Amino acid sequence: MAKKNKTAITPTREQDYPAWYQEVIKVSDMAENSPVRGCMVIKPWGYALWENMVREIDAMFKETGVKNAYFPLFIPLSYLEKEAEHVEGFAKECAVVTHHKLEKDDKGGLKPAGKLAEPLIVRPTSETIIGESMAKWTSSYRDLPILLNQWANVVRWEMRTRMFLRTSEFLWQEGHTAHATEQEAKERTMLMLDVYTKFVEEYLAMPVIRGRKTVSERFPGADDTTCIEAMMQDKRALQAGTSHFLGQNFAKGSNIKFQNEEGEEAYAWTTSWGTSTRMIGGMIMVHSDDDGLVLPPRVASAHVVILPIFKKDGDNRAVKESAQDLKDALEEKQYHGRNVTVEIDDRDIGGARGWDWVKKGVPVRIELGPRDMAQNSVFMARRDEPSSQKQSMNREEFIGQITDILDNIQDNLFNRAKNYREENTFEIDDKKAFYKLYKKARGFDNGAFVMAHWCGSEECEEKIKKDLSVTIRCIPFDSSTEEGNCICCNNASSRRVLFAKAY
RNA sequence: CGGGAUGUGGCUCAGUCUGGUAGAGCACAGCGUUCGGGACGCUGGGGCCGGAGGUUCAAAUCCUCUCAUCCCGACCA
């Protein structure tokens, strides 16, 4: 017997949170770094998770009347110039295509040739090119609203990257809508934020705080940016989705005009909203532990893994068949719109096999051997409980209860995360206490979520960001108005906002 | 783009100071013993030491240039 580690992952979360995060991704077999700078390879176990997420949230979009479409990867450079703030916001991180072919150079290598008349940028987001189409499609108020979404990859040439959280290329969905009235566009902005909230909380089991971004944190070109913010285990905040009210800014830039019921020419009101593979990074950081990945059942790449226990002299064929029968019985069950998915792992690699699946985060592990067969039972372990806590269950009972067990795990993950956030969220009114909390923040302990008063000035926001690298994550919708004094300048304030260190 | 570091089997690294046959652990393959909490033994496959030049009888090791990556800043879903 080799000596046992205390945890499957080293370092642990407390020892080195960023290294732990990378290690979870590696040992769970979700993704790995690619030879291309800042980009990642999403492996089948990680991609299956993404596919599950896509399927669920896509259905939710469609329920609100949104239809999917697809627009080009390349955007003419001039399009990006159509909205002033938008150019400003994205210009520094765009990949630019300037040539359209390769020629042999004198060293036997290749060099770009065939210079393009107008450079193309690889989309960092598609407001401008979709706006171009919307302008073409819109001539009457009867053409509105246009409710579009596209699933796509986008490229943002970030300086520093981290798998899932910030990669140069990432997968996402971007919704784009155009409306005849301001009111309707604003309602759509909130409706999509509701969809994100529901998805992230119910499927990813991540509790979020909904709110509005401050002016300085707004999407470039938006009149209003709303968001959902979640707390990671290191007490930093991660934005898990955004929905923007773009006013008429992009409509004017792209010339999205129509004749209203009165026969007058008017600009449309547009929105855009997105979530990305970044949600996976958030999900990892919220639920996973020192033994590896923990997957919420509703999006898990697989729900159950069966580990047949073979005896040297026993009838292994019977165990194998029994495992297959169990898999078949479980897979007939429906769990939130899809069949229960079951893996059988019969590799002959000893105890390492079980740990593999702990590290991969599969919600339920079943050991099935001759002893269980004799008793018509199964030996079950749940990923949300300590890995030693296995229990014997009657086989039929287990099959009957599988969806309840999965729901129970799902709820447990959500409640655990919610409690953690609540335990680490404080109202602070004293500037010294506020500074003290964040001054010591580093590594695993990044302070807390702090609800504090803010006068509304960019100066105070900027000062706190500079002093503590703490930002206003959002002005929460559900915090009631309350008289107080700005945590920074002590001027009058009418409501608390959410402060935190952010990813 | 500033500051710091590193490039050696798939991975993590030793060897470089002081030049002399390319190493270890893990992973992988085969065989045997194991197996309900992370197994062990034996055998084996795999690297022209990031690249180009130079010094030398001889370069992973010294020199010059170059490329790439990582970490710390400014930017961000």
- Chain-centre distance of CA A469, in angstroms? 23
Farthest-apart Cα atoms in chain A, separation = 87
Q: Determine contact, residues A185/A269, Cβ cutoff 8 Å.
A: yes
Helix axes A278-287, A17-27, angle to 10 degrees: 110
pLDDT digits (tens, 9 = 90+) for A179-232: 999 999 999 999 999 999 999 999 999 999 999 999 999 999 999 999 999 999
Statement: the CB of A247 is under 7 Å from strand B: no
A3 CA → B38 C1’, Å: 8
Instruction: Say yes or no: A318 and A230 in one domain.
Output: no
Chain B bases under 7 Å from protein CB?
A: 1, 34-40, 68-77
Task: Single out the residue of A8, A10, A30 nearest to residue A20, CA to CA.
Answer: A10
Angle subtended by helix axes A395-423 and A316-331, to nearest 10: 60
Nucleotide nearest to A92 (CA to C1'): B75
Least confident of A50-54, A147-151, A350-354, A361-365: A350-354
A372 touches strand B (CB under 7 A): yes
Q: What is the DSSP string of A325-359?
A: HHHHHHHTSEETTEE--EEE-----TTHHHHHHHH
Chain A window 463-502, residues with Cβ within 7 A of nucleic strand B? 469
Parallel, antiparallel, or unpaired for β A265-267 and A224-231?
A: unpaired
Per residue, what are the HEC states of A16-69? CHHHHHHHHHHHCCCEEECCCCCCEEECHHHHHHHHHHHHHHHHHHHHCCCEEC
Q: Point out the nucleotide closest to A281 (alpha carbon to C1′).
A: B77
- From the CA of A323, how many Å to the C1' of B41? 32
Please tell me whether any atom of strand B lies within 7 Å of the Cβ of A4: yes
Of the candidates A421, A448, A463, which is a domain's last residue? A421
Query: Of A41-50, A313-322, A469-478, where does mean pLDDT reach its minimum?
Result: A313-322
Q: Residue A6 — pLDDT band, cuts 50, 70, 90?
A: confident
Q: Which residues lie below 8 Å from residue A240, measured CB to CB, with a gap of 6+?
A: A196, A200, A204, A206, A208, A228, A229, A230, A275, A278, A279, A282
Q: What's the CATH code of the domain at A473?
A: 3.30.110.30
Residues 174-193 of A with CB under 7 A from strand B: none
Question: Which residues lie across from A493 on neighbouring strands?
Answer: A484
Domain boundary, last residue among A387, A421, A455: A421
Q: Is residue A372 part of a domain?
A: yes
Instruction: Say yes or no: A149 and A222 in one domain.
Output: yes
Q: Is A177 helix (H, G, I), strand (E, B) or coil?
A: strand
Residues A384 and A442 in one domain: no
Count of other CB atoms within 10 angstroms of residue A353: 17
Query: Whose C1' is closest to the CA of A373: which nucleotide?
Result: B36
Which nucleotide in the DNA or RNA is closest to residue A240, CA to C1'? B77
**Residue A241 sits in the same domain as residue A140:** yes
**Residue A269, domain extent:** 17-73+124-287
Report how far Cα A166 is from the mean position of its chain's Cα atoms.
11
pLDDT, tens digit (0-9, with 9 covering 90-100), for A447-493: 899 999 999 999 999 999 988 889 999 999 987 789 999 999 999 99
Per residue, the 3-state secondary structure of A72-139, as one string, reads CCEEEHHHHCCCHHHHHHHHHHCCEEEEEEEEECCCCCEEEEEEEEEEEEECCCCHHHHHHHHHHHCC
Q: What's the DSSP call for residue A408?
A: H
- Report the pLDDT averaged over residues A292-305: 96
Q: Is residue A90 part of a domain?
A: no
Verify that A495 and A469 share a domain, yes or no. yes
Q: Are A27 and A8 in contact (CB under 8 A)?
A: yes
**How many whole angstroms separate alpha carbon A432 and alpha carbon A170?**
40
Q: Phi first, then psi: what are they for A337, rounded to 5°?
A: 85, 0
Strand partners, A427: A451
Same domain, A384 and A334: yes
Q: How far is the CA of A307 from the C1' of B32 (A)?
A: 24
Instruction: Choose from A14-18, A108-112, A134-138 the range with maximum mean pLDDT.
Output: A134-138
Residues 286-305 of chain A: which lie with beta carbon within 7 Å of strand B?
291
> Which residues from 210-239 of A have any strand B atom under 7 Å from their CB?
219, 239
Q: Is residue A240 part of a domain?
A: yes
pLDDT band, very low/low/confident/very high, at A350 (cuts 50, 70, 90)? confident
pLDDT for position A313: 67
- In the numeric block, the tokens 């079950």 are attached to A380
3-class SS of residue A409 = helix
Q: What is the overall mean pLDDT for chain A?
A: 91
In a domain, A190, yes or no: yes
Does residue A394 share a domain with residue A328?
Answer: yes
Q: Does residue A347 reach within 7 angstroms of strand B, measured from its CB? A: no
Closest CA to A330 of A383, A360, A368, A375: A368
The strand B neighbours among A residues 64-103, by Cβ under 7 Å, are: 89, 92-93
Q: Residue A153 contacts by C-beta under 8 Å, 6 or more apart in sequence?
A: A73, A169, A170, A171, A172
- Whole-angstrom Cα distance, residue A270 to residue A197? 21
A79 lies in some domain = no
Does some domain include residue A97?
no
Smallest CA–C1' separation from A217, nucleotide: B76
Return the CATH number at A274: 3.30.930.10
Here the CATH number for the domain that contains residue A348 is 3.40.50.800
Please check whether residue A404 lies inside any domain of the structure.
yes
The A 22-41 residues near strand B by Cβ under 7 Å are: 33, 37-38
Q: Is residue A82 part of a domain?
A: no
- A275 and A142 in one domain? yes
Q: Which nucleotide is nearest to A154 (CA to C1')?
A: B77
From residue A204, alpha-carbon distances to A199, A241, A288, A298, A489 in Å are 7, 12, 12, 7, 38
Whole-number distance in Å between A40 CA and B75 C1': 20
Is the bond into A308 cis (omega within 30 degrees of 0)? Answer: no
Query: What is the nearest nucleotide to A169, using C1' and CA?
Result: B77
ipTM greater than cut 0.90: no
Q: How far is the CA of A257 from the C1' of B68 (A)?
A: 50
pLDDT band, residue A1 (cuts 50/70/90): very low
In total, how many domains does chain A have? 3
Q: Quick check: A173 and A58 in contact, CB under 8 A? A: yes
- The C1' atom of B57 and the CA atom of A109 lie apart, in whole Å, by 36
Token representation of residue A137: 């499609």
Query: Using one digit for the tens of pLDDT, what is the confidence trace for A59-106?
Result: 999 999 999 999 999 999 899 888 888 888 888 888 888 888 877 766
Confidence category of residue A240, pLDDT binned at 50, 70, 90? very high
Q: Which of residues 306-335 of A touch strand B (CB under 7 A)?
A: 309-310, 312
Taking the CA of residue A372 and the C1' sugar atom of nucleotide B77, their distance in angstroms comes to 48
Average pLDDT over residues A165-184: 94
Q: Over pLDDT 90: what percentage of chain A?
A: 70
